A and B are shown apart, each in its own frame.
Chain A
């Protein structure tokens, strides 16, 4: 039985406890993206090009009415840019370039990938029929980039029944790719057909539906820069543990799996309270491109946030400064020819600064623009 006094006091204490929580600003974009992800999962992720644009896409359509889909130009090769050019063009006044290039650190096993403007890579291996697409979010809202690997006898594709995009043959890491690359508007469903389909062969190529793309994870709704792939063969995945402490039954670890889904991190923790894990995929960086700083917060039992960064080849250490004045040093580990550094910050503290150190201990880059969850990209 609860007395009136008890009832009043408990009400006051619960009220005080919860009013002390100051929520961050309502993340409307993330909520809508996550909603569209739920819708996509319910509809079946394999459904393509059948009007699954969803509410977000229709909204984008509303904003984009009258805008013509971005039109890629023919593909002049820029000898100064890394890799071989697949296509270039401008979209909403921004120049873009799709290319195939090696994204491993110098001296490591070659890893072929298709990149947008030299970054946001998609590891890829020859496989006719394989397609992929990516959107860059706020960098180029409403615009997506895609490519299709074509059989050798297909000379190009038609986008939405009116735009011809020629296929080119490019090479990286000893592989040759017969591929058509293009930019397109997310405001409408995109239909891709072969320019010269052989008799009896299907004329349509399936493309991922980015407008309904699910969020990277529950805690990292961003998906900008992460390619969505369709095909029978995916790029070879590699995985490795970046940091760990304790024993399997009582400890934590941060691991990465690198493949066509991006750089996918997982933070696992176990203790007497139980076990839990959280994970997220971020854009794949290139040696010269911006680095992705990923934050993976975990409640019980870890009560900490894991940070993982795919760092540039010359990074020897990553130094993390915390809100209580202390610091942590993380030593990069190499996974499939690429360097990653990872560390953990207790949830009672905040990561306030990251410094990149070279082999001599000199600071080569620094940032305070750090995520509390999800990822940001930073050019050291």
Chain B
């Protein structure tokens, strides 16, 4: 039989668990959605993947919060979730319709964003992930390798191929200065 005092103690633990996680999730949410958008090119898919990643982090919150770098842990969950989703849906890496971007801006700026989204969508998932993690999250080869579960050498080769593909992509603006 559980004593009321035990129930209260368990309840307080749970509240602390949830409060800690809530603060973490709220602070990481915008960045996660943007990272997921970079990986997928789709706003709603990005929010769904970010939500799934945080749900997984919630389940393992004690391990995530106790990790030396919780953000790295979360990033890896997000990348894995994104990769799994694409595998599951058997979506080939092809350009699609340009996504809606929520913020309005000068026409040329909006066009530039859309061109980059389209160009990234044409890259294989790993090359796209390497580019986004490098140029958005500012990660080193070692950090990117940890997020993707590969070696730093693979990161360098994927980055090189991805950048070459971007340069050659007419949608991105071949010959243009980045």
* A residues adjacent to B (C-beta < 8 A): 2, 5-6, 9-11, 13-24, 26-28, 30-32, 34-35, 37-39, 42, 55, 58-59, 61-62, 65, 218-219, 221, 272-277, 297, 299-301, 303, 305, 346-348, 372-373
Query: Is B107 an interface residue when CB atoms closer than 8 A count as contact?
Result: no
* B residues adjacent to A (C-beta < 8 A): 4, 7-8, 10-15, 17-18, 22, 25-26, 29-30, 33-35, 37-38, 40-48, 50-52, 54-56, 58-59, 89-92, 94, 96-97, 99-103, 105, 109, 112-113, 116-117, 121, 131-132, 135-136, 163, 166, 177-178
Interfacial chain A residues near B136, Cβ < 8 Å: 14-15, 18
Interfacial chain B residues near A299, Cβ < 8 Å: 40-42, 44-45
A55 to B10, CA, bound (A): 10
Partner of A28 from B7, B11, B22 at Cβ < 8 Å: B22
| Nearest-CB residue, chain B, relative to A215 | B55
Tell me the minimal C-beta distance from A374 to chain B in angstroms.
11
A299 to B166, CA, bound (A): 22
A275 to B58, CA, bound (A): 31
Interfacial chain B residues near A305, Cβ < 8 Å: 44
| Nearest-CB residue, chain A, relative to B159 | A2
Q: A58-B14, A274-B89 are in contact. List 12 more A-B contacts (CB 8 A).
A: A19-B34, A21-B33, A23-B34, A26-B29, A32-B18, A34-B51, A55-B18, A59-B11, A61-B11, A275-B89, A305-B44, A347-B97
Assess whether B91 is in contact with A5, with CB atoms less than 8 Å apart: no
| Interface of B (DSSP majority class) | helix
Assess whether B15 is in contact with A21, with CB atoms less than 8 Å apart: no
Interfacial chain A residues near B14, Cβ < 8 Å: 55, 58-59, 61-62
A301 to B94, CA, bound (A): 9
Assess whether A20 is in contact with B102, with CB atoms less than 8 Å apart: yes
Interfacial chain B residues near A219, Cβ < 8 Å: 44, 48
Partner of A303 from B96, B109, B163 at Cβ < 8 Å: B96
Interfacial chain B residues near A17, Cβ < 8 Å: 38, 101, 113, 116-117
Q: A20-B101, A65-B7 are in contact. Are A34 and B52 (CB under 8 A)?
A: yes
Tell me the minimal C-beta distance from B109 to chain A in angstroms.
7
Interfacial chain A residues near B132, Cβ < 8 Å: 14, 18
Interfacial chain A residues near B10, Cβ < 8 Å: 58, 61
Assess whether A20 is in contact with B103, with CB atoms less than 8 Å apart: yes
Assess whether A11 is in contact with B91, with CB atoms less than 8 Å apart: no
Interfacial chain A residues near B178, Cβ < 8 Å: 5-6, 9-10, 13
Interfacial chain A residues near B99, Cβ < 8 Å: 303, 347
Interfacial chain A residues near B22, Cβ < 8 Å: 28
| Nearest-CB residue, chain A, relative to B131 | A14
Q: A14-B116, A20-B105, A59-B14 are in contact. Are A28 and B25 (CB under 8 A)?
A: yes
Tell me the minimal C-beta distance from A6 to chain B in angstroms.
5
Tell me the minimal C-beta distance from B4 to chain A in angstroms.
8
Assess whether A21 is in contact with B46, with CB atoms less than 8 Å apart: yes
Assess whether B47 is in contact with A275, with CB atoms less than 8 Å apart: no
In the A-B complex, the 3 residue pairs with the closest CB atoms? A62-B11, A9-B178, A35-B58
A274 to B86, CA, bound (A): 11
A228 to B142, CA, bound (A): 46
Q: A28-B26, A58-B14 are in contact. Are A274 and B92 (CB under 8 A)?
A: yes
| Nearest-CB residue, chain A, relative to B177 | A9
Assess whether A18 is in contact with B37, with CB atoms less than 8 Å apart: yes
17 residue pairs A–B, Cβ–Cβ below 8 Å: A9-B178, A16-B109, A17-B113, A21-B43, A22-B102, A22-B103, A23-B33, A28-B22, A30-B51, A39-B59, A59-B15, A61-B11, A273-B92, A274-B89, A297-B44, A301-B96, A303-B97
Partner of B113 from A10, A16, A372 at Cβ < 8 Å: A16
Interfacial chain B residues near A20, Cβ < 8 Å: 101-103, 105, 113
A294 to B139, CA, bound (A): 40
Interfacial chain A residues near B101, Cβ < 8 Å: 17, 20-21
A10 to B103, CA, bound (A): 20
Interfacial chain A residues near B30, Cβ < 8 Å: 23
Tell me the minimal C-beta distance from A61 to chain B in angstroms.
5
Assess whether A34 is in contact with B55, with CB atoms less than 8 Å apart: yes
Assess whether A31 is in contact with B102, with CB atoms less than 8 Å apart: no
Partner of B94 from A21, A24, A272, A277 at Cβ < 8 Å: A272
A272 to B91, CA, bound (A): 10
Assess whether A18 is in contact with B18, with CB atoms less than 8 Å apart: no
Interfacial chain A residues near B7, Cβ < 8 Å: 61, 65
Interfacial chain B residues near A38, Cβ < 8 Å: 55-56, 59
Partner of B91 from A6, A273, A297 at Cβ < 8 Å: A273
